[in-house]
């Protein structure tokens, strides 16, 4: 059966993305095999207590900065061998807090300095680069503000620099607040996969691994030999570690040395962190991949893995492309089953390549406690799929964007389930990204209906997982947004109250518009698209039919289902998709059948007429398949969608203006 060029193009893109996603997926399982099977024992040596500079880059971290400094100063390491640099680029009361704390520890005999550059140029990378000019020790340890290094950290990590080619020792991240909420559990499992699979496999082999930006120790000579910290990307850690390994240095990952850290508890903060990582990785791919691929001393397998790691965030745009393409293919009744007559194999294949394989990895990593981790896996799949929009925008921003602002991930000192962050400073409002997530969520709901009505319910779960993810991420992005500020004056309290009322009214209005749009979309599908699906089914029966009366009944039913005139292809319309012409063809077919319905069953006239009717039914079915995609993109649908999006953007604009109105109060926050 002939397929329209548009549908064939959509299918080709769908398959291309499927192939690439399969490659990235199997690469993860390849690394999992290395990580689980290969056990490498690293050399250690008694290096004494060499001098170490501990650099603590912070920016507006009033809730966690003091905790970090206190933990560092409690390390079991000689004071005269430990230099501490608080690299403070803050512009809020964190500055005074750190100044007082540093003075206190200076009086206790610690070699600790409160370093203020007077600028945020280069952001975290700029602060580390500036600090290296003041560093004269053999090693440099780095901790972000949300980490709590254990007292034994330096004594246990330093001995792994036994070999001179070791340039970096990276420790595993622990999770202070893993069980705070579902999103912290999902983040924790994702990070555990990264460290216990990817980092371990690469450390135990000749593959390049990356520095994770914190909870690690660098050899100073390695940093200098690799060219120092660069500010051209948002992931200075990945950039430097790759440049170091290209120079021949070795990086180690130590899974048994765990440094606890606080996970983002606000959805908008988690999205910001994911955005920075995805954008930065693409920036590094553009910057480094060319040199990696042409460098002869780097093994071929290492080059392949470097390419995969630096480009793996491209999987997010491919997930979205598949998500958009699948309902279109189903609406066109395109066969997507692994084996045409065994549709169940389709879902079985998806399950085997995804959840089932991940469960096997979890079982091998966590042993007896694997069931506890396995319970989190479904939510991780939903959470990761929901982040696809956020990370896709980050990928394109990394490829084509000009701005390179480092937006920090706010932390609130949240450890226990009873801890509250909602009325604290640094809360992030939702962004325009949330509107895109809502769009994809609604599109997914329509896709589920298409899968069901097109008699392909086996694909409904495949569409449902990302749909739930988009809706959930969008919901939390909205519900985690706050305009509240901690103010003391009456005027400020009134401003807060007014802004909060605007926020609530705007959310009600936005959800009302979204619900109305979803209803109109469903109603439009039921009125305009579903009749075409029914008609194609009836034409299938006519194409194989032998009973003239039944065929005439089916043709009359099709005439009732289809529009009497108009052409859904409103740009460059074709005659084959003109419903007036299709109605005429149906009338002609009815007349042809009616003229021979009284002929004997095996007569030549009846057989000839049936062959003609079967052929024309197949052609009409193809015409309806060509018309179906354009029913979604009708002129009225485009106008309605434009008005619908404009209404949501208008409400978003109201919220933004109120946020700007409150900015004047932010500088005087006292929490």
Band of residue 450 on the pLDDT scale cut at 50, 70, 90: confident
Check whether residue 636 and residue 514 sit in a common domain. yes
And the tokens for 11?
Answer: 């299918």
pLDDT above 70 coverage of the chain, percent: 88
Q: What is the CA radius of gyration of the chain?
A: 31
| 254-311 pLDDT per residue, tens | 999 999 999 999 999 999 999 999 999 999 999 999 999 998 899 999 999 999 999 9
Check whether residue 146 and residue 256 sit in a common domain. yes
How many CB atoms are closer than 10 A to CB 63? 21
pLDDT at 492: 45
Check whether residue 351 and residue 472 sit in a common domain. yes
| 577 Cβ contact partners less than 8 Å away, ≥ 6 residues apart | 567, 568, 569, 623, 626, 627, 630
Choosing from 240, 263, 286, the residue where a domain stops is: 263
Q: Measure the CA–CA gap between 35 and 13, rounded to whole angstroms.
A: 33
Q: CA 259, 217, 32: angle at the middle one, nearest 5?
A: 60
pTM tops 0.85: no
Check whether residue 437 and residue 534 sit in a common domain. no
- The domain total for the chain is 3
Check whether residue 106 and residue 227 sit in a common domain. yes
Check whether residue 293 and residue 245 sit in a common domain. no
Q: Is 26 part of any domain?
A: no
| 441 Cβ contact partners less than 8 Å away, ≥ 6 residues apart | 467, 470, 471, 474
Choosing from 225, 243, 263, the residue where a domain stops is: 263
List strand residue ranges (DSSP E) for 6-123, in order. 52-58, 82-88, 111-115
pLDDT at 487: 42
How many CB atoms are closer than 10 A to CB 612? 14
Check whether residue 455 and residue 542 sit in a common domain. no
pLDDT at 640 over 80: no
The average pLDDT across 199-216 equals: 95
pLDDT at 574: 74
Tell me, what CATH number does 173's domain have?
A: 3.90.550.10
Q: Is 206 part of any domain?
A: yes
| 24-48 pLDDT per residue, tens | 999 999 999 999 988 888 878 788 8
Check whether residue 213 and residue 103 sit in a common domain. yes
Q: Is 488 part of any domain?
A: no
Q: Is 135 part of any domain?
A: yes
Choosing from 242, 263, 284, the residue where a domain stops is: 263
Band of residue 534 on the pLDDT scale cut at 50, 70, 90: confident
The average pLDDT across 598-603 equals: 84
Annotated catalytic residue, options 89, 260, 554, 626: 89
- What one-character DSSP code corresponds to residue 275? H
Q: Is 28 part of any domain?
A: no
**What's the burial of 396, exposed, middle or buried (CB within 10 Å: 0-12/13-18/19+)?**
middle
How many CB atoms are closer than 10 A to CB 156? 16
pLDDT at 47: 81
**Comparing C-alpha atoms, which of 440, 434, 449 is closest to residue 506?**
434
Annotated catalytic residue, options 144, 237, 397, 554: 237
Check whether residue 219 and residue 337 sit in a common domain. no
Q: 3-state secondary structure string, 598-647?
A: CCCCCCHHHHHHHHHHHHHHHHHHHHHHHHHHHHHCCHHHHHHHHHHHHH
Q: Is 436 part of any domain?
A: yes
Check whether residue 529 and residue 475 sit in a common domain. no
**Comparing C-alpha atoms, which of 302, 224, 648, 280 is closest to residue 478?**
648
pLDDT at 265: 95
Q: CA 249, 254, 260: angle at the middle one, nearest 5?
A: 125
Q: Measure the CA–CA gap between 462 and 444, rounded to whole angstroms.
A: 10
Q: Is 603 part of any domain?
A: yes
Could you please report the per-residue DSSP string of 500-528? HHHHHHHHHHHHHHHHHHHHHHHHHIIII
Check whether residue 402 and residue 466 sit in a common domain. yes
pLDDT at 656: 62
Q: Which domain holds residue 621?
A: 497-671
More confident residue, 357 or 632: 357
Q: Measure the CA–CA gap between 107 and 165, rounded to whole angstroms.
A: 38
Q: Is 553 part of any domain?
A: yes
Residue 237 catalytic? yes
Check whether residue 507 and residue 374 sit in a common domain. no
Residue 89 catalytic? yes
Band of residue 532 on the pLDDT scale cut at 50, 70, 90: confident
Token pair 């390390």 is at which residue? 75
| 232-255 pLDDT per residue, tens | 899 999 999 999 999 999 999 999
pLDDT at 488: 40
Q: From the centroid of its chain, how far is CA 463?
A: 16
Which residues share a beta bridge with 217?
Answer: 141, 169
The average pLDDT across 384-412 equals: 89
């Amino acid at each position: 059966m002939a397929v329209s060029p548009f549908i064939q193009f959509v299918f080709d893109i769908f398959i291309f993305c499927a192939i690439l996603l399969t490659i990235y997926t199997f690469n993860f399982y390849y690394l999992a095999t290395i990580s689980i099977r290969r056990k490498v024992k690293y050399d250690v040596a008694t290096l004494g207590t060499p001098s170490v500079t501990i650099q603590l880059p912070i920016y507006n971290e009033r809730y966690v900065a003091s905790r970090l400094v206190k933990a560092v100063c409690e390390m079991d390491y000689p004071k005269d061998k430990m230099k501490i640099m608080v690299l403070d680029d803050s512009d809020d009361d964190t500055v005074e807090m750190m100044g007082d704390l540093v003075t206190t520890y200076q009086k206790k005999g610690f070699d600790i300095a409160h370093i203020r550059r007077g600028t945020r140029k280069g952001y975290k990378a700029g602060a580390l680069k500036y600090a290296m000019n003041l560093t004269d020790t053999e090693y440099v340890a780095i901790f972000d503000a949300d980490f709590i290094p254990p007292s034994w950290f330096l004594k246990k990590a330093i001995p792994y620099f036994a070999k001179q080619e070791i340039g970096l020792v990276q420790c595993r991240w622990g999770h202070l607040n893993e069980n705070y909420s579902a999103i912290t559990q999902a983040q924790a499992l994702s990070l555990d996969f990264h460290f216990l699979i990817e980092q371990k496999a690469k450390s135990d082999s000749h593959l390049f691994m990356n520095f994770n930006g914190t909870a690690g120790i660098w050899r100073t000579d390695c940093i200098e030999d690799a060219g120092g910290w660069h500010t051209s990307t948002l992931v200075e850690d990945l950039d430097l570690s790759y440049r170091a390994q290209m120079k021949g240095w070795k990086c180690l990952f130590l899974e048994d040395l765990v440094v606890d850290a606080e996970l983002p508890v606000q959805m908008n903060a988690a999205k910001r962190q994911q955005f920075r990582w995805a954008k930065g990785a693409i920036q590094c791919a553009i910057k480094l991949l060319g040199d990696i691929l042409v460098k002869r001393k780097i093994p071929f397998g290492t080059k392949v893995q470097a390419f995969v790691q630096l480009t793996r965030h491209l999987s997010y745009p491919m997930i979205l492309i598949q998500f958009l393409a699948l309902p279109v293919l189903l609406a066109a009744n395109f066969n997507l089953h692994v084996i045409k007559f065994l549709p169940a194999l389709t879902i079985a294949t998806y399950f085997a390549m995804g959840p089932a394989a991940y469960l096997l990895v979890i079982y091998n990593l966590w042993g007896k406690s694997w069931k506890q981790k396995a319970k989190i896996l479904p939510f991780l799949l939903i959470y990761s799929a929901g982040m696809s929009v956020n990370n896709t925008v980050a990928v394109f921003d990394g490829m084509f964007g000009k701005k390179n602002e480092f937006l920090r991930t706010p932390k609130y000192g949240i450890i226990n389930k009873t801890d509250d962050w909602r009325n604290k400073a640094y809360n992030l409002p939702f962004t325009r990204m949330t509107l895109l997530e809502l769009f994809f969520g609604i599109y997914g709901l329509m896709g589920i209906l298409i899968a069901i009505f097109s008699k392909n319910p086996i694909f409904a779960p495949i569409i449902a997982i990302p749909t739930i993810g988009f809706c959930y991420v969008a919901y939390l992005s909205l519900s985690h947004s706050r305009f509240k500020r901690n103010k003391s004056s009456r005027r400020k309290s009134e401003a807060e109250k007014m802004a909060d009322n605007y926020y609530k009214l705007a959310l009600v209005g936005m959800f009302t518009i979204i619900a109305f749009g979803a209803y109109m979309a469903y109603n439009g599908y039921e009125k305009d698209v579903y009749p075409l699906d029914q008609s194609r089914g009836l034409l299938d029966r006519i194409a194989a039919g032998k009973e003239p009366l039944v065929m005439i009944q089916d043709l009359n039913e099709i005439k009732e289902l289809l529009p009497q005139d108009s052409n859904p292809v409103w740009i460059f319309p074709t005659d084959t998709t003109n419903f007036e012409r299709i109605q005429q063809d149906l009338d002609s077919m009815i007349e042809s059948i009616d003229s021979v319905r009284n002929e004997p069953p095996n007569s030549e006239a009846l057989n000839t007429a049936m062959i003609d009717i079967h052929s024309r039914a197949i052609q009409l079915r193809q015409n309806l398949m060509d018309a179906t995609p354009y029913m979604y993109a009708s002129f009225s649908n485009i106008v309605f969608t434009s008005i619908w999006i404009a209404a949501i953007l208008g409400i978003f604009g109201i919220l933004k203006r109120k946020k700007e109105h409150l900015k004047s109060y932010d500088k005087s926050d006292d929490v």
